[in-house]
A and B are shown apart, each in its own frame.
Chain A
Amino acid sequence: MSLLELEDIHSYYGNIHALKGVSLKVEEGEIVSLIGANGAGKTTTLRSISGLLHPRKGKVIFRGKDVTKLAPNLIHKEGLGLVPEGRGIFPRLTVLENLEMGAFLVKDKAEIARGIEQAFTLFPRLRERAEQKGGTLSGGEQQMLATARGLMSTPSILLMDEPSMGLAPVLVDQIFDVIKELNAKGTTILLVEQNALMALSIAHRAYVLQTGTIVLSGAASNVAKDENVRKAYLGI
């Protein structure tokens, strides 16, 4: 049984048919990349999984349970973490409070403290900024905070939406190193990226999304070799 499985998902924004039958699987321990152009439906796919947008048709199965119609807070409770598009930092909460929000459902204070310590070890910059308001952080720091916050609930899968967006190349490398590190420690990751080259380089498997449908899937190394993918997304 896969950790996460999408069966023929159809999602709409009003009358716009954004996802036209997306099916994909994520196995435990994998990094799976979902790549595609602007407007292909990458973010919509993540929103459909996390409950922010309910698909009109199809099923989302998470850990063997149908979560298609569940509210986002209940899906989160099942063990799903999301680092949203644009990072979703609470601008008027401090870095520390942002992290605490990530562990909103964790009752054990000691466990929250451990999580915060872990986040600071992973991103030492956040420790320096602990008392600063989230809105005053730089883009890179916000991405670190969003990632760390997503991990606070120790999710069994972390969905990451464009972690490289708007970041300087050196920061992008850093974020991708962290993703690899997290995965090595056992976190399953579904990564949505425009930066296809980077995404394919760290992923085990990949799906290519084009105007709401999966047009190609397979081992990341094979997807990277595909002629059309190279032309369209890798610019080679």
Chain B
Amino acid sequence: MRRLIKSAGLREILLPLGRMAVFVLGAGALMSVVMVVLALLCRGSGADKLLLSTQNVNIVFYTMANLPQVLIDGVTIGFVYAAIALGYTMVYGVLEFINFAHSEIFAIGAFAGVEFLIIMDKIGVLATSGTYGPYLYLTLALAIGMLAAGGIAVLIERTAYRPLRGAPRLVPLISAIGVSFALQDIIRLVESLTTGQFYRVIPTFGNFDDKILLFTIQTASAPIKVDIQVKSVIVIAAAVMMLVGLNYIVNATRIGKAIRSVAQDRDTAAIMGIGVNGVIAFTFLIGGALGGAAGVLYALKFTRIDPFVGFMPGMKAFTAAVVGGIGNLTGALLGGIILGMLESFAGAYLGTFTMGNFGSEYKDIIAFLILIIVIVFRPSGLLGEQISQKA
């Protein structure tokens, strides 16, 4: 029996890792194939000729040579979206409502982590922390971001959602939108009062901007280097660890079982002795903490944050959660990776394939078109629950 439990615990660690690998490889391979086919179809087009005249490569070669970098970027941002999407999907799972303030919870995590690093930078410990010091401070920043975001999430639930639990569905939704706007301006106010500006830049420290050369593609002209930034590795590694940890909590622990039963039948869970309010608060805590960590990782990757930094990642993560099947943790992971890949591919190739008529700034159109297509044809999402309770 004991051995069984142990191996069940191990399974809950290996299974999500396997799923992530399948999703990353699957989505990556599918997108690559689609892209190469598109390139083959575009041979001889204006875009092809333009590439030949400016870079001396044809469009098929250009597409393939860029693929590794595009895939790496897609995975990186995809994992950030997945971590945010899990917050939406967990709250939806237990309360069946969309916590629109989650994007601001993400922003608060980002600000808390970045402010901590700025303070550390000011007192001079960041620059002199040696080789491993930066990793320690980054870990601390992540922990602070998680605590701040998780704490705020619990506070929001207690004050803005719990009193509305018996109200019609639309009411807590409006409350969430209100909280979202209020928090945006609260962040702006606090930042303006304390720092005089409302955007912040993460200090440069450590070797996070260094690039690790993976391999080089030899071409007729200049060789193409495929590399990955140290910070991308950190983002991916941190996100993978958190996603595995969350999966473990939800599937292999007592509190996780309580979360799942509250999600499936709140009244019955209560009469089994589960403190429903506590379980819901805990759900907000870990969903918020994940969002906060994603905020710090986002700041690390994109360096500059402002009070509205949560909006676009939040919308995309929400999209990811719906595409994957809202309420389903694996679905959020899949949706996040798909969204990240789509965005990365659109950002890299849209400009080239349209000869600059549509630049990468239009990449978001793709993400939201996919949302509409998926919900029209599969309203329950890609991995939406199909099992129904018999009467």
Whether the Cβ atoms of B260 and A90 lie closer than 8 Å is yes
Whether the Cβ atoms of A82 and B390 lie closer than 8 Å is no
Q: B367-391 vs A: 1/0 string, CB under 8 Å?
A: 0000000000000000001011111
Known: A52-B267, A97-B257. A102 touches B272 (CB 8 A): yes
Residue B57, interface by CB 8 Å: no
Whether the Cβ atoms of A135 and B271 lie closer than 8 Å is no
Interface residues on A, range: 35 or more
Q: B241-271 vs A: 1/0 string, CB under 8 Å?
A: 0000000000000100110110011011111
Q: A37-52 vs B: 1/0 string, CB under 8 Å?
A: 0000000000000111
> Smallest Cβ distance from B165 to chain A, in angstroms?
13
Chain A residues closer than 8 Å to B36, beta-carbon distance: none
Whether the Cβ atoms of A76 and B389 lie closer than 8 Å is no
Whether the Cβ atoms of B391 and A139 lie closer than 8 Å is yes
Residue A11, interface by CB 8 Å: no
Chain A residues closer than 8 Å to B275, beta-carbon distance: 71, 73
Q: A63-93 vs B: 1/0 string, CB under 8 Å?
A: 0000000011101110001101010111111
> Smallest Cβ distance from A142 to chain B, in angstroms?
7
Q: How far is the CA of A84 from the CA of B275 in the complex (A)?
A: 17
Residue A61, interface by CB 8 Å: no
Residue B160, interface by CB 8 Å: no
Chain A residues closer than 8 Å to B260, beta-carbon distance: 90, 92-93
Q: Which residue of A lies closest to B1 (CB)?
A: A113
Chain A residues closer than 8 Å to B389, beta-carbon distance: 89, 91, 134-135
Q: How far is the CA of A92 from the CA of B391 in the complex (A)?
A: 14
Whether the Cβ atoms of A77 and B273 lie closer than 8 Å is yes
Q: Which residue of A lies closest to B388 (CB)?
A: A135
Q: Which residue of B lies closest to A85 (CB)?
A: B267
Identify the interface centre among B254, B264, B388, B391: most chain A CB within 10 Å of its CB: B264
Q: How far is the CA of A70 from the CA of B267 in the complex (A)?
A: 14
Residues of A whose CB lies within 8 Å of any CB of B are: 50-52, 71-73, 75-77, 81-82, 84, 86, 88-93, 97, 100-102, 104-105, 113, 133-139, 142, 149, 153, 166
A-B contact pairs, 24 of them (CB 8 A): A51-B270, A52-B270, A71-B270, A71-B275, A73-B270, A76-B270, A76-B273, A81-B271, A84-B271, A88-B267, A89-B389, A90-B261, A90-B264, A90-B265, A91-B264, A91-B388, A92-B387, A93-B257, A93-B261, A100-B257, A104-B273, A134-B389, A135-B387, A149-B272
